[in-house]
Structure 1
Amino acid sequence: MENKVEHERIPVVRLDRQLKYQGNILKIYEDTVLANGHEAKWDFIHHDGAAAVLPVAEDGRILMVRQYRNALDRFTLEIPAGKLDAPGEPKVECAYRELEEETGYRVDSPKHLEYLMSLTTTVAFCDEAIDIFVAHHLQPSRQHLDEDEVIDVVPCELEDLENMIYTGRITDGKTIAAIMAYARKYRSSDKADDLV
């Protein structure tokens, strides 16, 4: 029988963290770490967190938002989302706010926002964490956009959204995760009918 030698993992030890840039949404640090016995410089981006919401209209269509994304230099189709107003803000309250701000629809209370999933967006260098909720019993309201925001609301069939994912027309990670999780959870169990 072959002997298997188990190697002890040498922990990563952070020796220093220096703030290099602070913007409106994130802070960029340079970390000095001792990793695998070697000193290295690692980038780290801190984000206070965010929430997103998958709004389901009475007819079963999903209300998506089309907006320009500077990092990609193009328009994208996404679920509504936004950063927390403060680090300790409950994510369900953030989702409640972002739903109305971006789509012009609201729910009577956060209890009509059902938790769907949590995800970390870019684990290699950023700690951004997003909770995603499903919104049902939507009530018409009005958008409350920032002065530099241009957002169009686009109602879409679930099957069309899945096709846009498979053909590369939707590439946003949180949106893909939310749509696929929603499809898996509700299509197979007929629970989608409970949301309208």
Structure 2
Amino acid sequence: MGIKDTAAEWPVTATQTPFTGNKTSVRTDEVEMPDGTVVKRDYQVHPGSVAVLALDEEGRVLVLSQYRHPVRQKLWEIPAGLLDVPGENPLHAAQRELYEEAHVKAEDWRVLTDVYTTPGGCDEAVRIFLAREISDVEGERFEVEHEELDMELARVPLQELVRGVLAGELHNNCLVVGALSLTAALAGDGLDALRPADAPWPARPFEA
């Protein structure tokens, strides 16, 4: 018997937003529990994100190294970015991020997996795409700034990424989930059985 996550919404008796930042905010809800008690729950409100596992013809994954201040580390990641516009089509956002961060385009797109990054304290939802038939974009590169100024790019065999994940050497959520999901897909029904790039995403509904 299969299992799956289901929609649910417990009553919220009061809510406030004690902090509002540039892209995210913090919300405090008073939530009624099944026994009738009411407790406070603080969480980060996030617009959502997309990430791209770009796979080349040699079975290598495009990754980049970027400084992440909250964890004080340079992490190897896959291209990713925020859904900056409410209702934005996630595929369009993913294509934009792949171009801006790696100067690459792809002809074949699939949904690899959808995840909530930290559902106990943040409502961020991430859609991870698989991009194939990749090639460099002609013309000048997108002008980067801030942490992206120090980015390194590399193409790494999928098996090497999985080894690094299991050895505790790679920690970025999207890279870990993406690499392991791709490995599972290859061992299962194959990549053509993945959901189409425009598959519904209830966590972040979008316009076609």
TM-score by length of 1: 0.84
AA in 1 matched with 2:45:
H
CA distance in 1, matches of 2:136, 2:161: 23
Displacement after TM superposition at 1:39 (Å): 2.5
AA in 2 matched with 1:154:
A
Equivalent in the alignment of 1:38: 37
AA in 2 matched with 1:160:
E
Q: Aligned runs of 1:75-114 on 2, under 5 Å? A: 75-108=74-107, 112-114=108-110
Equivalent in the alignment of 1:163: 163
Does residue 133 of the first structure (1) align with residue 129 of the second (2)? yes
Do the aligned partners of 1:119 and 1:130 also contact (CA within 8 Å) in 2? yes
Q: Aligned runs of 1:56-71 on 2, under 5 Å? A: 56-71=55-70
AA in 2 matched with 1:13:
P
SS in 1 for 2:71: coil
Root mean square deviation, CA, Å: 1.9
TM-score by length of 2: 0.79
Which contiguous aligned blocks of 4+ residues in structure 1 show a shift greater than 4 angstroms?
Answer: 187-192
Do the aligned partners of 1:105 and 1:143 also contact (CA within 8 Å) in 2? no
Do the aligned partners of 1:104 and 1:144 also contact (CA within 8 Å) in 2? yes
AA in 2 matched with 1:180:
L
Stretch deviating more after TM superposition (87-96 or 181-190):
181-190
Equivalent in the alignment of 1:7: none
**Relative to structure 1, is the Cα distance of residues 160 and 123 closer, same or farther in structure 2, using a 3 angstrom cutoff?**
same
SS in 1 for 2:119: coil
Deviation track 1:85-139 (CA, whole Å, cap 9, x = no partner) reads 202101111110111111121125xxx2211111111111211111111111112
CA distance in 2, matches of 1:169, 1:29: 33
Displacement after TM superposition at 1:18 (Å): 0.5
Equivalent in the alignment of 2:18: 20
Bigger radius of gyration: 1
**Relative to structure 1, is the Cα distance of residues 38 and 191 closer, same or farther in structure 2, using a 3 angstrom cutoff?**
closer
Do the aligned partners of 1:49 and 1:87 also contact (CA within 8 Å) in 2? no
Equivalent in the alignment of 1:186: 186
Do the aligned partners of 1:78 and 1:172 also contact (CA within 8 Å) in 2? yes
- Stretches of structure 2 lacking an aligned partner (at least 5 in a row): 1-8, 193-208
SS in 1 for 2:27: strand
Displacement after TM superposition at 1:70 (Å): 0.8
Provide the aligned length of Structure 1 versus Structure 2: 179
Q: Percent identity?
A: 28
Equivalent in the alignment of 2:204: none
